[in-house]
A and B are shown apart, each in its own frame.
Chain A
């Protein structure tokens, strides 16, 4: 019964789809130049290139880390990472890798796994000389706990994320260094425990996986090289599911572990903001490898980050467009979460100062957006020279794809 009724439907579908597709078109007429895509660091991921299926070619991305294997430090990290996880590390894996390393050094400096001591050791890393040289450059903190790290420009070339020939930030990144000396000592005794918090389930899960991978790799390296203070390091995972209430729960859980001496996390800025007060009250030093919101480290001596803030990034993105690309008009696509709006606000602020005309700011909600065609049509009607994306790589890939389909980019 069922089959006989469904069959015509199926036949219809088959008939209509098997008629074959016409060959690729040739007749494109030129309406001025093609636009160029520029993305914020949320876009930096090998998956951006993969998902955009060719539409990402030629886009520029501002990022704290590039998997540039010409540098020996990064090469070692990148090879170890690929050997372990069969994929290239992204910026978050690298930053977490460094964050765990930074905490390990701070523990060594403090001389014992003591929360207050580690905080002081982190706060003492206040210059390039005293900072932690990792694969993402030297991590060192200002009074606030913020980190001044240079922003690099990556370019998608030949389906790969490469370091662009045009770099805007001239202050040197500090030579990336290979992780600890590999003297095979044995770590003994009671493990030293640190917490790593991130979105291991829920919407930001892909980031969580990278964070976990980066942290695990560093953990394995540290423990193979004799651990910290001669004792093995141990990580407790805290899944904040990208939601505030769960971030509070995770922070409370961490605070309730007397043996836990430091936290690497959280990833999302809102989660960091939600957990901040608890770490402060419990006096646990926390180092976030992902939260760029301006307020994250404000007003707490216990919160640190090892990447730049939204305001710095927004300025760099805008300056890159005006100074390096020498373009005058742009359309901004931004994710209306804390990251996207933060970045967009500072980008627009800088654009106003430097005479870059923002023709339109188009926001989207990454949870509920079903397609980008109409939003890209909107962008298309403004014919911008540059399309700036302040969002995550997943949506950025969709925007790039839709732009290509609309004839906006090459």
Chain B
């Protein structure tokens, strides 16, 4: 099946816009440029992780309340490998990669020892994260939806406490500091050099592009149709020969792989990770991005990620300006009050998200399986007691 053209166009435009953003804001001056990079790279983390979660929650209908554990695993794997033995990994690459200087460093960025080290770390993080999801998923995926949700919630809490308490491995509460930058030439105190500020941003865009590609391809493959079938009507899917457990496992593993990738992107941005990054609210925010954007809709979740990521930041930067203009200091809590209200109002007036799945987007999958497609699961309908 070919990609629905409208969606492809949308996603491509979005990616190109994200790529061009730093160049565009550069014209608006230093402040706008730096701010757009900061907020932009922050939003990218939400877009990536929300897209990952979308595979599991949006497409397969498995509620996961602890995605941050997998993001954290990615970030921690990266941080620990990169800093192990006094940045031994980077030293290893620096040993046989020619040292470049000037603009050549930008052009041949893929030869940079730091970047090569990051590239090495990524597959390890992904494999570890997938193994973890396999371990957690095998015994628990047979559970019905909400029980699985509480298992993931509990797991994220346990993961957080393990990271905090096993200091011999994870460096404990103070976190892993001084993680090397994405490129060896990003470290210097050079405000002017364009690339040192934008490297992690472009890295984020690249990761997002990979995510989008994987998610769209998965959804449009026969596997994806299986996932949607499991979500829409588990019983019907099963009676049509869909192996529900297998598809659930698949979605969990794809999610965990993408989340680990998101974790590495997070690390590249902050160059620091600590248990503080693993808090429960982050999980909830990722979930909000998915539901607010429109479950299962790739475009919607992309928008959801931008919206929620930017909302907090815009309010943080904007409210003091408003306070100043009206001459009354608005308490900082107002941000979260507004945030809560926006969640409630969006759900009230657009219960299926900002950009819900258009019917034609994945029509065909179910009909091919011969399953009758239910409406969205409803408040009253699901899980009625026997």
Interface residues of chain A, those whose CB is within 8 Å of chain B, are 200-201, 236-237, 239, 242-246, 248-250, 252-253, 255-258, 268-270, 273-274, 277, 280-283, 293, 295, 299, 336-338, 340-342, 363, 365, 367-368
* Distance in angstroms between the alpha carbons of A282 and B33 in the assembled complex: 13
Chain B's nearest CB lies how many Å from the CB of A376?
Answer: 20
Is B335 in contact with chain A by the CB < 8 A criterion?
yes
**B189 touches which one: A244, A250, A256, A280 (CB < 8 A)?**
A280
Chain B residues closer than 8 Å to A239, beta-carbon distance: 316, 332
Is B37 in contact with chain A by the CB < 8 A criterion?
yes
| Chain A minimum-CB-distance residue to B30 | A258
Chain A residues closer than 8 Å to B313, beta-carbon distance: 249
A336 adjacent to B31 (CB under 8 Å) = no
* Distance in angstroms between the alpha carbons of A256 and B191 in the assembled complex: 10
* Distance in angstroms between the alpha carbons of A323 and B197 in the assembled complex: 52
Chain B residues closer than 8 Å to A337, beta-carbon distance: 173, 276
Q: 27 A–B contact pairs at CB < 8 A?
A: A243-B276, A244-B270, A244-B273, A248-B38, A248-B269, A249-B39, A249-B42, A250-B316, A252-B34, A253-B35, A253-B38, A256-B30, A256-B31, A256-B38, A257-B31, A258-B30, A270-B173, A270-B174, A273-B272, A274-B270, A277-B272, A281-B196, A281-B197, A338-B172, A338-B274, A365-B161, A367-B279
B190 adjacent to A281 (CB under 8 Å) = yes
A277 adjacent to B191 (CB under 8 Å) = no
Is B320 in contact with chain A by the CB < 8 A criterion?
yes
Q: A280-B189, A365-B161 are in contact. Are A299 and B178 (CB under 8 A)?
A: yes
Chain B's nearest CB lies how many Å from the CB of A105?
Answer: 24
Chain A's nearest CB lies how many Å from the CB of B156?
Answer: 12
A281 adjacent to B173 (CB under 8 Å) = no
Is B167 in contact with chain A by the CB < 8 A criterion?
yes
Q: A239-B332, A341-B167 are in contact. Are A253 and B317 (CB under 8 A)?
A: yes
A249 adjacent to B270 (CB under 8 Å) = no
Chain A residues closer than 8 Å to B177, beta-carbon distance: 273, 295
Chain A residues closer than 8 Å to B320, beta-carbon distance: 236-237
Mark out the residues of chain B between 7 and 45 whose CB falls within 8 Å of any chain A CB in the assembled complex. 30-35, 37-39, 42, 45
A245 adjacent to B277 (CB under 8 Å) = yes
B38 adjacent to A249 (CB under 8 Å) = yes
| Chain A minimum-CB-distance residue to B323 | A237
* Distance in angstroms between the alpha carbons of A245 and B282 in the assembled complex: 10
| Chain A minimum-CB-distance residue to B29 | A258
Mark out the residues of chain B between 174 and 210 whose CB falls within 8 Å of any chain A CB in the assembled complex. 174-175, 177-178, 188-191, 196-197
Chain B's nearest CB lies how many Å from the CB of A206?
Answer: 13
* Distance in angstroms between the alpha carbons of A230 and B164 in the assembled complex: 49
Q: Mark B26-68, 1 if CB is under 8 A from A, else 0.
A: 0000111111011100100100000000000000000000000
Q: Mark B270-310, 1 if CB is under 8 A from A, else 0.
A: 11111011010000000000000000000000000000000
Chain B residues closer than 8 Å to A236, beta-carbon distance: 320
Chain B residues closer than 8 Å to A283, beta-carbon distance: 189, 191
Is B110 in contact with chain A by the CB < 8 A criterion?
no
Is B333 in contact with chain A by the CB < 8 A criterion?
yes
* Distance in angstroms between the alpha carbons of A242 and B173 in the assembled complex: 13
